[in-house]
Structure 1
Amino acid sequence: DHGKTTLVDELLKQSGTFSSHQNVDERVMDSNAIEKERGITILSKNTAIDYEGVRINIIDTPGHADFGGEVERVLKMVDSVLLLVDAQEGVMPQTKFVVKKALSLGHRPIVVINKIDKPGGDPDRVVDEVFDLFAQMDATEEQLDFPVVYAAARDGYAKMSLSDENKDLTPLFQTILTEVPKPVGSDENGLQLQVFTLDYDNFIGKIGIARIFNGTISMGENVLLVKADGEKVKGRVSKLIGFKGMERFDIKTAGTGDIVAVAGFETIDVGDSLCDPTNPMPLDPMHIEEPTLSVTFAVNDSPLAGTEGKFVTSNKINERLAAEMNTNIAMNYEQIGE
């Protein structure tokens, strides 16, 4: 609603990540049918762009507290955040939730005042609102000294001052390059990688999407999976996948700061670490927020039973919920019998 996903589209286009012949959907990052239809982002998605020789990893997150499990994990995986605020609406209740999490993890947000082309917009007032919000949240001096970029993502331009001309997103790219700290860690160290979201493929099974905090990882390498409860499982990387634009492709090796997808571990879960087997140093497991809503599915015994949709039998619903459990860690599912 503040234009996060639309901004990612423009960053992809203007960094030259899409070639000119690729036909680009609007809001390419919203791949799920409900997301496309409602224009909201539920799941976090990641992509990467190359700009002036620098690889920028981008994770598009939901902005709502209902998807708290998603937001929190992603914030632990990044070195900085772009906080988008609507130039007219200003700080919204859901902004507070995300900001609180980001500040408490020590991030110094780059504030993007978006939709400055709206006739009722008042960007200066909104910057003050953001400052007041940060102050309420006990931000440090450094966090209160946040960089501000003014943008109209849909029209594909950004500027450092409202009096500058409307050109393209270069000012935002430059701000990202100068303000975002380089990843801490080094390729020389032992491997430390942490999974922040899951994917599932019928052929290769469970896939962990993860950030490498230290060391390097290679296709076919033997590594140690350390579960959140401390259990250790030896395994081999059967597939290593990199991201760029909307493409996913096999890669041979990746290093510190990269975001990759790893397959070959049946029990891999969010928060698990992959480590160097000779000297395993797992990262702290993540705490996932408990689900905010509970639902009981019961048999429909009304006279209209069976007419309300295509797959209405409990077996089908059970299959679908079980499939969701492969990748959705903010969900718990149990069968309670008849």
Structure 2
Amino acid sequence: MEIRNIAIIAHVDHGKTTLVDRILQTTKVFRDNQETGELIMDSNDLERERGITIFSKNAAVTYNDVKINVIDTPGHSDFGGEVERVLKMADGVILLVDAFEGPMPQTRFVLQKALQLNLRPIVVINKVDKENCRPDEVHDAVFELFFNLDATEEQLDFPTYYGSGKNGWFNDSLTQTDNILPLMDGIIKYVPPPKTNEGPLQMQITSLDYSSFLGRIAIGKVTRGSIKENQTIALMQADGSIKRNKVRELYVFEGMGKRKATEVIAGDLCAVVGLEDFNIGDTIADIDTPEALPVISVDEPTMSMTFSINNSPFFGKDGKFVTSRHLRDRLMKETEKNLALRVEDTDSADSFNVFGRGILHLGILVETMRREGYELTVGNPNVLVKMIDGKKHEPYENLVVDVPAEFSGKVIDLVTQKKGEMLVMESKGEMQHLEFEIPSRGLIGLRSQMLTNTAGEAVMAHRFIDYKPWKGPIPGRNNGVLIAKFGGVTTAYSIDKLQDRGAFFVDPTEEVYVGQIIAEHIKPGDLNVNAVEMKKLTNHRASGSDDAVRITPKLQFTLEECMEYIQQDECIEVTPKNIRMRKVVLNEEERKKSTRSMQSEAVG
């Protein structure tokens, strides 16, 4: 049976997972009466809520007697570690582009990786049913992008399909059909069969799965020879060591699941059960003539955060896993499959430095952990600085903002304050398309400020470019915060009196503790306030003093917004039920002492 391995790459929200849904439905993976719903591949709760793909996944369909392995990849550059290794399993890529937005920064990031691996591209321009879409202009922009990324002549001669994943049609012209069969025929025609070499077994482990029955499962593509059930193999690791191992069970992908197999030949993807102590990037080779494949390299992390145990007064109220041992074990387990993540011990046994690709990358990890029942404290994100030729360098990003023309001045002003430099300014219909080069530090907290200043209309995306010389200090948050002076239950009476001082993050009757951040101050500088004061009740009424209390609803911050909001002396308490911001030092007197000692050190 012939095989095709294809990865689908696209910017966030351009319709990648919907296209996979259509492929699965067209090839009758599900029975006609089976309820599948939408976004079948995004199986993780977090992926469904946010509408983004975080983990790459595999499905396999059969069309015209050809087996097509479909690999759904993340579109966000924060999950670049996931993308790079998964592309190693593919022989071709479908580049999916929105007919209005055109190629975006993240598209560029993944496409560059695919072209470097010599994968054959097919371009699909999606959402041509949308108003003011511009499929022809987008096609030209895609060609220009390929050219800028040094595509080969063969790669530049890419086939293009147009259509609408939502309405279930794709065609090689703008004529609407009633199915996606032209695209399926295109995959078989343009994606080459897997290249296989003659010789004994070689297979690289490119991703992991876990099952409570079978343990850890190694997934990859057999590049040479064949692998059999119960075969004894050599597991070749990155450090050069070779371990003898046995394949207990073999599975190939079929539909959305896996089917047991006795032998898998070169070119196909498979899952291997029974291996011990393997890592991503290891090579499974023939026991008699072991040869290793090149180790997978992944882009370096650009950001770090400190993860510690929860030491607030509300410690242990919500979570099941609260000790430093729980935290350490969970972080170490994550590094096994999350290649772009690194964990280091600190001077304290209760804290760990975690390095990742960006705020979203680290935020997803924290969110996943709290859903699993962990309690922890996370500090504010810091970019990683490198010394190059004796000079301090920091990561820079390419920032793209699409915004209605009337707000473009505000956006430029904001980004310039954060040490960004404008490279491109052009009109796209009624929208202004702006491109900047900005230090990664400048992006922290920028999204919320930008949405506030553009009435929520700005669409921003960014990707890492390179390390460049340090840009100097960047202004952080303008306003201070209001801090709880006393612990207890907040009262409507107190919050009502304090409302003119700031915008609150808590509602009346919420429990707070000393040192918790409960509101944003309207001025710079922090203020300690009493939010738990009860109204003094007397037995006579004064005219005008019993007006109804009017409380503005509290500001709800997501975890990422909290991470961008906090300053150096603040942290976030994360539990399965709550996310609270607080000062690192809860006691007011001790906070003042530590501030004074830091100031005297700075002067000294």
In the alignment, structure 1 segments of 5+ residues that lack a partner are none
In the alignment, structure 2 segments of 5+ residues that lack a partner are 1-12, 351-604
Matched residue, 2:190: 179
Q: Distance in 2 between matches of 1:102 and 1:92?
A: 16
Q: Distance in 2 between matches of 1:270 and 1:175?
A: 32
Q: Distance in 2 between matches of 1:235 and 1:306?
A: 42
Task: Confirm or deny: 8 A CA contact 2:169 2:176 kept in the other structure.
Answer: no
Matched residue, 1:310: 319
Q: Distance in 2 between matches of 1:328 and 1:203?
A: 22
CA RMSD in angstroms, aligned pairs only:
1.7
Matched residue, 2:275: 265
The alpha-carbon deviation at position 242 of structure 1 amounts to 1.5
Match of 1:38 among 50, 54, 76: 50
Correspondences of 1:1-338 after superposition (within 5 Å): 1-162=13-174, 164-185=175-196, 189-307=199-317, 309-311=318-320, 313-314=322-323, 315-336=325-346, 337-338=349-350
The alpha-carbon deviation at position 316 of structure 1 amounts to 4.2
Q: When you count strand as a share of all residues, which structure comes out higher?
A: 2
Match for 1:200: what amino acid?
A: Y
Task: Confirm or deny: 8 A CA contact 1:206 1:326 kept in the other structure.
Answer: no
Q: Distance in 1 between matches of 2:176 and 2:339?
A: 45
Q: Distance in 2 between matches of 1:276 and 1:178?
A: 33
Question: CA offsets per residue over residues 285-333 of structure 1, 9 Å max, x none?
Answer: 11122333322122434444445x4346135444433443443333223
Sort the Cα spacing of 1:34 and 1:293 in 2 relative to 1 into closer, same or farther, 3 A: farther
Sort the Cα spacing of 1:128 and 1:252 in 2 relative to 1 into closer, same or farther, 3 A: same
- The secondary structure found in structure 2 opposite 1:81 is strand
What TM-score does the superposition give when structure 1 sets the normalisation length? Answer: 0.94
- The secondary structure found in structure 2 opposite 1:225 is strand
Q: Distance in 2 between matches of 1:241 and 1:84?
A: 29
Matched residue, 2:364: none
Match for 1:294: what amino acid?
A: S
Task: Confirm or deny: 8 A CA contact 1:200 1:326 kept in the other structure.
Answer: no
Q: Distance in 1 between matches of 2:312 and 2:28?
A: 56
Task: Confirm or deny: 8 A CA contact 2:250 2:262 kept in the other structure.
Answer: yes
Sort the Cα spacing of 1:219 and 1:131 in 2 relative to 1 into closer, same or farther, 3 A: same
Q: Which runs of 4+ in 1 moved over 4 A?
A: none
What TM-score does the superposition give when structure 2 sets the normalisation length? Answer: 0.53
Task: Confirm or deny: 8 A CA contact 1:45 1:61 kept in the other structure.
Answer: yes
Q: Distance in 2 between matches of 1:25 and 1:195?
A: 31
The alpha-carbon deviation at position 205 of structure 1 amounts to 2.1
Task: Confirm or deny: 8 A CA contact 2:223 2:266 kept in the other structure.
Answer: yes
Match for 1:50: what amino acid?
A: T
Q: Distance in 2 between matches of 1:278 and 1:19?
A: 45
Range 148-157 or range 49-58, more displaced: 148-157
- The secondary structure found in structure 2 opposite 1:196 is strand
Range 291-300 or range 265-274, more displaced: 291-300
Higher relative contact order (CA 8 A, sep 6+): 1
Q: Distance in 2 between matches of 1:317 and 1:299?
A: 7
Q: Distance in 2 between matches of 1:23 and 1:319?
A: 38
Match for 2:152: what amino acid?
A: T
Task: Confirm or deny: 8 A CA contact 2:95 2:123 kept in the other structure.
Answer: yes
Task: Confirm or deny: 8 A CA contact 2:245 2:276 kept in the other structure.
Answer: no
Task: Confirm or deny: 8 A CA contact 2:208 2:217 kept in the other structure.
Answer: yes
The alpha-carbon deviation at position 20 of structure 1 amounts to 1.6
